[in-house]
Amino acid sequence: MVGEAVAKGATLADVARRAGVSPSTVSRTLRGLSTVSPATRARVEEAARELSFAISRSASSLVTGRTGRVAVLVPNLDAWFLGAALAGMAPALNAAGLDMLVYSVTTAEQRAQFFDRLPARRNADALLVVSFALSPEERARLDDLGMPLVFVSQHEQGRAGVSVDDVEAARRGTRYLLNLGHRRIAYLEPADPSGFAWSSRARLDGYRAALAEAGIDGDDDLVRQVADWQGPSLDAAVGRLLSLAEPPTAIFAETDDIAFRLLTVLRGVNVPVPRRMSILGFDGHAMAEPWDLSTMAQPARRLGEVAAELAHGVIHDPEAYRERHVVLPVELVPRGSTGPAPGPRPRPGDGDGVQ
């Protein structure tokens, strides 16, 4: 009895019967195709509505070779940036009539399985690679399979993709600190032991370039790697920086997540921000505002939206889109975590140097 009630779902043939036309006509109508008379169209659409007809993608993709789906490959799912990017992607994809398949590949095992079974293949029309470091073999494999690729938040020579100009953004961020009078500027970059997340030295390069332009010699003691998210290595890094002969007066963190933890650590050890130490982040994390963190804001959602457009492009016009790369702007958002460099170190007896 229960089984009876479960409508298996109307088929296109059912709709055709109800509308008194052939299946072909229903198909044409529903696809909004060329030549269907208005009267027929109306009848078909009503019949479809009455039966709550929803087309079976399985059947149509079997014949068209298109699945109407795109796969999204991410190194994890709980990082703010990825969530924001997906949040931009999903509606844009849906608007284009595409469904979004998400694959979160975090462990080596998952990775092997993903590329071995390649579930995306034949089950998606394109693959969006988001901040994921593809090995050359993996990339080759995907190419062999003829899977159109779109790289999101990473720049791959001669490939469709969307990203920001990390070099330029980091350069501008560093210049901002220089303009505030800072001369000793540290740089904290995330260590990625898994090697899954895509990264480049681009931001670090930008930082170094800005220092060089200002005639300041790079000091490797000021560049430190820290575990991206959890763990004690940040404390150690801060300890190193504070115990230098000439400690920094500003720290540029490669990600806002690092900057947040940095703020906490500094508060804990009574280093006032920004009076004694300015902090600049990178990402435009949603929490940056409540934390009053100055940051280089990436348009994360927008990256997702553009990625969706590119996906649509590479599917429908591979020739035109194959190498299209979009660069989005990064904006410096100055907030309370950055301020002028403190004056010269107080000589003995000078007090705090405060007027």
Nearest to 303 by CA among 126, 116, 138, 166: 166
Could you tell me the end-to-end alpha-carbon distance of the chain, in angstroms, rounded to an integer? 87
Closest approach of Cβ 335 to DNA, in Å? 52
Q: Which residue ranges make up the site for its own copies (CB under 8 A)?
A: 5-9, 52, 54-59, 61-62, 65, 67, 69, 76-80, 82-84, 86-87, 90-91, 94, 99-104, 106-107, 110, 113, 117-119, 121-123, 141, 144-146, 229, 260-261, 263-264, 286-287, 290-292, 301
Alpha-carbon gap, residue 192 to 189, rounded angstroms: 9
Q: Which of residues 64-93 bind DNA (CB under 7 A)?
A: 64
Closest approach of Cβ 168 to its own copies, in Å? 26
Q: Is 12 in the site for DNA (CB under 7 A)?
A: yes
Q: Residue 24: name its binding partner from DNA, its own copies, none (Cβ under 5 to 8 Å by kind).
A: DNA
Binding region for DNA (CB under 7 A) out of 48-56, 100-108, 246-254, 305-313: 48-56
Q: Residue 325: name its binding partner from DNA, its own copies, none (Cβ under 5 to 8 Å by kind).
A: none
Among 17, 40, 51, 96, binds DNA (CB under 7 A): 40
Is the omega angle on the peptide bond into residue 342 within 30 degrees of 0, that is, cis? no
Q: Is 117 in the site for DNA (CB under 7 A)?
A: no
Q: Residue 270: name its binding partner from its own copies, DNA, none (Cβ under 5 to 8 Å by kind).
A: none
Closest approach of Cβ 169 to DNA, in Å? 44
Please, which residue, 75 or 206, has the CB nearer to its own copies?
75
β-strands 331-333, 294-297 pairing: antiparallel
Closest approach of Cβ 7 to its own copies, in Å? 6
Q: Can you read off the two tokens belonging to residue 121?
A: 């293949």
Q: Is 39 in the site for DNA (CB under 7 A)?
A: yes
Q: Residue 77: name its binding partner from DNA, its own copies, none (Cβ under 5 to 8 Å by kind).
A: its own copies
Q: Can you read off the two tokens belonging to residue 110?
A: 């998952």
Among 28, 171, 208, 224, binds DNA (CB under 7 A): 28
Nearest to 293 by CA among 257, 242, 240: 257
Binding site for DNA (CB under 7 A): 8, 11-13, 20-25, 27-28, 30-31, 35-37, 39-40, 53, 55-56, 59-60, 62-64
